[in-house]
Structure 1
Amino acid sequence: MTQIPLAERIRPTNLTEYLSQSHLVGEKGALRNHILNGTIPSFILWGPPGTGKTTLAEIIAQESQRPFYKLSAINSGVKDIREVIDKAKNAGGIFTQKNPILFIDEIHRFSKSQQDSLLGAVERGWITLIGATTENPSFEVIPALLSRCQVYVLDAFSKDELVQLLHRALTTDKYLKEKQIELQETDALLRISGGDARKLLNIFELVINSQNEPKITITNEMVLDQVSSNPARYDKTGEQHYDIISAFIKSIRGSDPNASVYWLARMIEGGEDLKFIARRMLILASEDIGNANPTALIMANNTFQAVSTIGYPESRIILSQCAIYLATSIKSNASYLAIGNAQKIVKQTGDLSVPLGLRNSPTKLMKELGYGDDYKYAHDFNGNFAFNEFLPKEISGTTLFEPGNNPREKSQREFLEKRWGKHYNYGSNKE
């Protein structure tokens, strides 16, 4: 038995073996020609855990025959970066056509000063930077570095790709080939993995190693038994990262402050990025509470700012206060549904013309063409309201926003009914 994990033993070494991300490395993939031609730009790979970010970086270095340097943002500092850049300059950089590749795993965990230390090397071409992150680069990578890099998004593995990966493990790994293994059911493996290929292979190997019989038949029941008896620890770099944050958000949405604080504690004890937690609560405050309690958004935003300033351990108290406030707040997803409805209409109808009365008329010609005609300035009328047609005529009267059934949004419905009558169908009897 080897101590090397299965995921590492069957890691792909070339593009042919690389199973997923056809939109990047398939026949018409955005990265494929760069790889084959050797014209590799600096870029960030953004995607969930276990989607092949590290593997792809290693394959790119192999295919392009470039020196490859690897750092992890968890245990590397500015000194480590500078040492690698010096090595890279000596190995290639401006002196050859093939810049060395510097791969930084979890680049979102680098501080601003650490990211700043990469700018000169990237700009001067001493290195080709490939960063990997599970977080949105727009939030976690400094603008100066982001502007020098392309961003490529990786997708979670599909069901077919995960099944294919399991069969590849059975047919190519020399240790598994020595066993009699029948893959009878895969649903539990796929469901628990959540599209994370590394997690899938770890669970698969765990289940196989738990059996002493000469012939092993993998069933859903067997998988669930092993997972429940070997609970995974919270892993902020992958494994349960998405499961725990999902449970946290759903607990707040479901108005359960006890569960909300429990899952918050799980993340804090697991070393989760506190700003990540605060950012998710900020999103929830608008998506799941919205105008039912507008103060929730202010509270969440102040929490994010406070956490960004104060840090651990005091931030745990601020996060707890915000989580409890959001959990015990009235809920409404009316704003979330409204923008979804509006985007759907835009996709269906395209670029509809702006009504003439709403158009700006800064020139004489525009005024002669009728720009701004018939527009009624609201403040010239009683109640600061005058009926205008604000939507394109093709979708006139289309109701996109439906107030929720809570005190604050009921008052919004009454406000809209008084002003718009039946034009937008805001009847007081609607729930």
Structure 2
Amino acid sequence: MTQVRSELSRYLRTETVGGALLLIAAALALLWVNSPLRDSYTAMAEAVFAIPPLHLEMPLAQWVSDGLLTVFFFVAGLELKRELVIGELADRRRAALPILAAIGGVVTPALIAFVIGFGQPGMDRGWAIPVATDIAFALAVLAMTGSRIPAGARVFLLSLAVVDDLMAIILIAVLFTASVSMLWLVTAAASLAGWALAQQRRVSTPLVYLPLALLSWYALHEAGIHPTLAGVLLGLLTRVRTDPGENEAPAARLEHLIQPISAGLCVPLFALFASGVPLDGKVFGQMFSDRLALAVIAGLLIGKTVGIFGVSWLSVRLGLTKRPAELGHRDMFALSVLGAIGFTVSLLVAELALADVADGSPAELAKAAVLVTSMAASLAGSALLLRRGRVHQAARDARAQERDDREHRTSDDAEAVPGKGEGSIK
């Protein structure tokens, strides 16, 4: 358990830095696309790169969202596997709370978005835009403003976001697969089975795993399924328990190696290409009048908060789950607001669901709604966390003062008893 806590601490530190880089990349994209240099941004994003032997030809922005983002989901899959097997989620009652909260945080915003946006072009799949919580962004906000909140908050938010993103990826695989090539699907399954077999046989050379990973990604792409699913599946198939005499399990080694690349390069690059949304008076006007944008805003800000907190509160009240140690309902509400930060995956779903609708303007409007709502959720969550942090710090100070007073009284009593203390008469 000490090793698990150490791994969790390292993960959180890396994701915090990654979250800060994500914010910088998003801000850069917004400044770039809303400046006189916007044409250079568009040219870069739409530059086509091809691998002729594999018949792969995609714009740079798609290479980032389909390729580099797979690395991010691989790390998320590794983290989820570790939490499920040897971490906080290995205990069923502890695991139940973030899992049920994640389900509430997916179903509620989807229903709200569907009802508000019903009949709008693209909303047959656009209701899935507000279902995901951004791991890096949310953890970065928690680290910066919730340092005085008990550590259980970080475990809860991390577990919630990982389960949440896994469900979002499953939705992506289901919703955005028009037709499936069975031959390539079988190839993908075979490559995944080869990865699992190599793990079982304790194969350690990357000369086996790298080709299997690339083949599974390519096979899912050719099968018509969004290839980021390969990252999650490979992560879940990786061994997390150490063998006798083994210093680190493969999952831990891979996290050490790949997570800094994911948090420091892959996610910020995705944010750079996904956040390039024109934000002018026209966009802001449409954002609060267009039903599609309102569906995204309400789904994220209201749906995620109500879904996560409502299910958490109800499950604890019914005795189905147990809150993390030292966390109250108000702490859980603050964390639920952070769950409304739907940056990375929400932007990805917006691109997939709405890119071909009309002239692409609905996708731009939905992405603007995601950006603005995520920022609002981060500010509101930060304010709540700072307030709760002061409450927890005051309680810790009061307990410390009570201990000091008790020790002082014990010392005074000892000096007053004959035969004890410096001034006693023997």
TM-score by length of 1: 0.21
- Which structure has the higher relative contact order (CA within 8 Å, separation 6+)? 2
Q: Give the structure with the larger helix fraction.
A: 2
Q: Give the structure with the larger strand fraction.
A: 1
**Which protein is bigger by CA-based radius of gyration?**
1
TM-score by length of 2: 0.22
